[in-house]
Structure 1
Amino acid sequence: MNTPTNARFNHRKYRPATVIAKTDRRWPDQTLTTAPLWCSVDLRDGNQALIEPMSVSQKQQMWALLVSMGFKEIEVGFPAASQPDFDFVRWLIEANQIPEDVTIQVLVQARDELIERTYEALAGVRRAVVHVYNSTSPVQRQRVFNLDKQGILDIAVNGARKVASEAKRYPQTEWVFQYSPESFSTTEVEFAVEVCNAVIDVWQPTPQKKAIFNLPATVESSMPNVFADQIEWFCDHVNQRDSLIISIHTHNDRGCGVAAAELAMLAGADRIEGTLLGNGERTGNMDIVTMAMNLYSQGVDPQLDISMADDIIATVEACTNIKTHPRHPWLGELVYTAFSGSHQDAIRKCLSKQQDDEPWDVAYLPIDPRDLGRNYQSVIRVNSQSGKGGAAYLLEQQIGATLPRWMQIELAQPIQRRAEMQEGELSPEQILHVFRAEFMNNDGRYSLAGYQIDKQGNQYHVQASINDGSQLTLIHGHGSGAISAFADAMHKATGIDVQIVQFDEQAISEGSDATAMAFVQASIRGSRYTAVAQDGDTLSASLNAILFTINKAIIDSRAVA
């Protein structure tokens, strides 16, 4: 058969990945029964991949999230290469921000002056991992460094010696050494072991004081099973295996970063480095949330708290300026939503039979969405795509604004209820009435009397007057934007924590009569509330919509009580 040729898309210029002739592989018969040691690299590997690196306040926000999720090892920067990274490490240490059970990790190339600067950044820390690396693959040796194998091995050994000697200058700190043969997955396994054994000879780890050897798929270039073979071969041939923690750092160039990490654990790895939601260079790093949830869904304790799904998404999006795909595994906005009528019917039937004291077994739902703070309203929705689109279209003609996609889905639920109750077609006027009654009704406790916004650097400060029905209260807050600043102010004044899940605002007229409409969905006390507000001032509309969601939550809590 003749294959069409295209000079711009020619598979013949690529070579298949090298595989190991291995007939004694054991990893296919293994099962994951425990979580790995996790190390988040969001603040370093993830940060360097951003178009706009995180500000100090964003780094602090990400740090707080990682600690609250239960990470015990967090890579916080490359302090020798960046003054902001150096300053952030100093802030963590000098401001006493590192909990007793958390160890920070820093990255450094195997160069003397950079290693010295790294230890300066870490001065006074209780415990830290110093992660040194150099590239080992043939393409790096031949085309980047123009060195033979001995030259690469010398860099690794000299770097290891410098790391060990500098540590002696800071005896008050408990030091953990980590080495990475960068581009391990495209390095000959025999040479990778040779380099690592040379580093082991320098550091002399013991079972009581282990060293970390991190084996990265710097660029994912093979199927996950090939990577697993490499890991198992390495574990079988490296010296002093009982004195080593084998760590894995995969990337997602082939879309298999999580799979490669999981198979690497089967092959003998102990530790996994990655980022929340997979942010990272090119197609991203290994997604820790996905891998942790994969374990959770199999009845394995992931040793991380993923239940704060909305907090994770909100924080990662605020710190990276990257939106979470609605179909992102486990945490995406639509992953527990059934649009198919047959799927909805199966889910309804299973939920009606599911008992609290029995293993979860519901069609189309691999886990209980409530575990992640999602309710069944987001699961059982109108199954007709045209039904949602039709109601939204008729409403848009009434209000003069285009509903965001997520708002169309929220609207479909009360429209469906009204249609079933009425047993007939709803007019545009009736749809508008449902919309206003469900989302624009502010019969609750709080209303906005006035506000003032100031911006200082990257921070917004809000001062607002809130009417609670009997008196005016002055509230204050700050955040990375006006919305988050207002939410912070309400939290401080009322104790109600508001996490914005979805937000959109649109101008619905022009000129002197211009008005704006704000659409908000917020997570409050583990439930989601959606509200819409309209005002001549865009920000007033947004703040009022937030207040509407808080009022809904208060009414809801009273009803439950």
Structure 2
Amino acid sequence: MNKDKLKKYKPYPVVHLPDRTWPDKSITTAPVWCSVDLRDGNQALIQPMNLEEKLEMFQLLMEVGFREIEVGFPAASQIEYDFIRLLVEGGHIMNGVVPQVLTQAREPLIRKTLASVQGAREAIVHLYNSTSTLQRDIVFKKGRKEIIELGVAGARLIHEQARETDTRIRYEYSPESFTGTELDFALEICKAVLDVWEPTPDNPVILNLPATVEMSTPNIYADQIEWFCRHLDNRERVIISLHAHNDRGAAVAATELALMAGADRVEGTLFGNGERTGNVDILTLALNMYTQGVDPVLDFSRINRVINTYERCTKMKVHPRHPYAGELVYTAFSGSHQDAINKGMSAAELTESGLWEVPYLPIDPQDVGRTYESIIRINSQSGKGGVAYVMDREFGFKLPKDMHPGFGRVVQEISDATGDELTPEMIFHAFEKEYLFNTNGYALQSFNVVKRHIDRDENASSAEIEAVVIVKGEEKTIAAVGNGPLDAFCTALRVGLGLQFSLHSYHEHALARGSSSKAVSYIEVYDQDEDGWWGAGVDTDIIVASIKALLSALNRSAAKKHKK
């Protein structure tokens, strides 16, 4: 970038607060949440929501648990006014939910705003006027005194109008562009408004201190909030509210630090939708708290429903890397990540502590209604651990650890050839082709245990078997005696077909519960060159499954030797 152009900019001033206390604090309880999706979020859409979409979004917000919802700017347009009347007259506002309406400090707007909530049990009337130095000097060309007079006049009119309605009116005031306003002036105008509204501990006023434009690092916003709280008289009569925008990409961090600095309430939107780079993302804030063991009060256990409703109503898409909600955030492509997640998930199933401790996953996907199937996805960057995870979670095959590298290489070759992500079905098809249906060398036609003998005195047993094996299209009958059916079959292959190999490893498990479920066997053999080869077999009979697994291993050995 052109360094000469840097002269156009100057650093944001810091707050002199050497004894700040917020760095030593933590968030232990959820704030009061206020959704502004239907106002701040809606006005930032290319195509604003219609009445039906607004109502669907409003119902979603109530379902999630919002009890304060800014439903619009009723004096801005007819559809805004009509929507609020629809909520009130249609009985759509659930008990305990308070609609919030926004108005500028202008008499006609205030009167229409109060009229819009007539008949509601309770409503928050949110008054604002611009206080920043830029707005005062460039937009309004007014001094501090005139700006205060504007805010006070608006507050007085709302107070008078509230007395003429049966609706319980709660008050909220915002010095718009708080972060662009001198702290002493923000405090002065807020005190002037409070003098009009005369809050009490039982009927507090909401003072909303918005980072209308995010202009500094998050710690400075926290300093501003702590400074303001310290210098405000009768703090117990005021609810300090935050409304952070995301111009610097740090709205979530700024809000978290400001909560530590003493704020009580947060205004924001789902997925951070809002003007320019957006508002603070309440979903991320809430689930950040959840991962620290703090009840966020909001319920995002059905996150896919939230996503679908949001995308349908706003015509916006949730980014695939969006925290907690994105399509890919519970997905690992990296081989080392996949291996760690695989091991972590297995360990989590055995732990008695109940704590969620899985590498790379700060939250259990099931807690937000997501499934484990999509955690690990396979492409050319993936490794053996991820492939084994998919085989286990998707299809129930718990491959022995020593088998992972071999099958991982099989999948890697396919991924390299296609250059694309492999679906679980593609991975399983590769497993079937490589292990279960690989009968190019030897195929089992029939297998019978002719006789079993158990010597109780010697704690030993023997078995006599007879089998028909297809070798290059020709049936071969083989028979032998061994310590058990598998040992006898190995002897028969060596004697009857002249094969040279030794058994090295054997594993088995059921693929599902129940008496009729299938079993899978995994066998590793060493060939005459002492190379190890794994095979797998599936059958309702565990003995037959092991015979198939043995032939699978021998077929893989023969195929590789033939390629050489």
- The TM-score normalised by the length of structure 1 is 0.70
Q: Are residues 1:105 and 2:100 paired?
A: yes
Query: What is the correspondence of 1:491-530 to structure 2 with a 5 Å cutoff?
Result: none
1:295 aligns with 2:306: no
1:125 pairs, out of 120, 124, 148, with 120
Q: Which residue of 2 aligns with 1:548?
A: none
Which amino acid in 2 is paired with 1:281? E
State whether residues 335 and 381 of structure 2, in contact with CA within 8 Å, keep that contact through their aligned partners in structure 1: no
Tell me what 1:256 maps to. Answer: 250
Q: CA deviation at 1:30?
A: 0.6
> Hey, what does 2:430 align to over in structure 1?
419
The equivalent position to 2:330 in structure 1, one of 336, 339, 348, is 336
CA distance 1:388–1:49, shift in 2 (3 Å): farther
Q: Report the structure number with the largest CA radius of gyration.
A: 2
Report if the CA contact (8 A) 1:341-1:383 is conserved: no
- Per-residue CA deviation, residues 354-404 of structure 1 (Å, 9 max, x unaligned), is 137511001111111111122211112325259699669869xxxxxxxxx
User: Could you say which residue in structure 2 is the equivalent of 1:19?
Assistant: 14
Quickly say closer, same or farther: Cα 1:176–1:149, change in 2 above 3 A: same
**Are positions 1:270 and 2:264 aligned together?**
yes
Q: Which amino acid aligns with 1:374?
A: R
Aligned residue in 1 for 2:310: 316
Where does residue 137 of structure 1 map in the other structure? 132
Distance 1:135 1:161 in 2: 17
One-letter amino acid matched to 1:413: P
For residue 332 of structure 1, report the CA deviation from its aligned partner: 0.5
The 1:180–1:389 alpha-carbon spacing in structure 2 relative to 1, beyond 3 Å, is: farther
Structure 2 counterpart of 1:83, from 78, 85, 91: 78
Cα shift at 1:263: 0.6
- Tell whether 2:28 aligns with 1:50: no
Partner of 1:213: 207
Distance in 1 between residues matched to 2:61 and 2:426, nearest whole Å: 40
Q: What pairs with 1:60-79 in structure 2 (closer than 5 Å)? A: 60-79=55-74
Distance 1:389 1:110 in 2: 67
Using a 3 Å threshold, how does the CA distance of structure 1 residues 389 and 372 change in structure 2: closer, same or farther? Answer: farther
Q: Of 364, 375, 382, which aligns to 2:378?
A: 382
1:240 aligned residue (219, 234, 240) = 234
Please state how far the C-alpha of 1:287 moved relative to its aligned partner: 0.2
**Take 2:413 and 2:280, find their aligned partners in 1: how far apart are those partners?**
36
**Alpha-carbon distance change, 6 to 17 in structure 1, aligned in 2, over 3 angstroms:** closer
Equivalence for 1:359? 355
Aligned residue identity for 2:430: A
Cα distance change of structure 1 residues 188 and 424 upon mapping to structure 2, 3 Å threshold: same
- The 3-state SS of whatever aligns with 2:216 is coil
Q: Deviations over 1:307-344 (max 9, x none)?
A: 11101111111111111111001111101111111111
Q: CA deviation at 1:412?
A: 1.9
Q: Within the alignment, does 1:188 sit opposite 2:182 as a pair?
A: yes
**2:367 is the alignment partner of 1:371:** yes
Mapped partners of 2:3, 2:92: distance in 1 = 57
Q: How many residues align?
A: 408
Partners of 2:257 and 2:3 in 1: CA distance: 36
Residue 423 of structure 1: SS of its match in structure 2?
A: helix
* Aligned AA (2:198): Q
How far residue 150 of structure 1 moved from its aligned partner, in angstroms, is: 0.2
Asked if 1 retains the 8 angstrom alpha-carbon contact of 2:37 and 2:268, the reply is yes
**1:11: how far off?**
1.6
Whichever residue aligns with residue 339 of structure 2, its letter is D
Instruction: Specify the code of the residue in structure 1 equivalent to 2:303.
Output: A
1:68-96 deviations in Å (ceiling 9; x for gaps): 00100000000011110100000000001
User: 1:419·1:425 contact (CA, 8 Å) conserved in 2?
Assistant: no
CA distance in 1, matches of 2:206, 2:416: 55
Contact 2:380 2:416 in 1 (8 A): no
Q: Is the 8 A contact 1:344 1:383 kept in 2?
A: no
CA distance in 1, matches of 2:128, 2:369: 40
Give distance in 1, aligned partners of 2:234 and 2:414: 67
- Unmatched tracts of structure 1, length 5 or more: 396-407, 428-561
Q: How large is the Cα RMSD of the aligned pairs?
A: 2.1
| Letter aligned with residue 117 of structure 2 | L
TM (normalized to structure 2)? Answer: 0.70
Structure 1 contact 388–412 (Cα < 8 Å) conserved: no
1:532-551 to structure 2, matched below 5 A, reads: none
Structure 1 contact 391–412 (Cα < 8 Å) conserved: no
Judged with a 3 Å threshold, the aligned counterparts in structure 2 of structure 1 residues 426 and 253 are, in CA distance, closer, same or farther, namely farther
Aligned residues with identical type, % of pairs: 54
Assess if the C-alpha contact under 8 Å between 1:338 and 1:383 holds in 2.
Answer: no
1:32 partner SS: coil
Say if 1:317 and 1:324, in contact at 8 Å, map to a contact too.
yes
- Maintained 8 Å contact 1:176/1:211: yes
1:489 aligned partner: none
CA shift digits 1:130-168 (9 cap, x unpaired)? 000001011110001000000101011111101100101
3-state SS of paired residue (1:180): strand
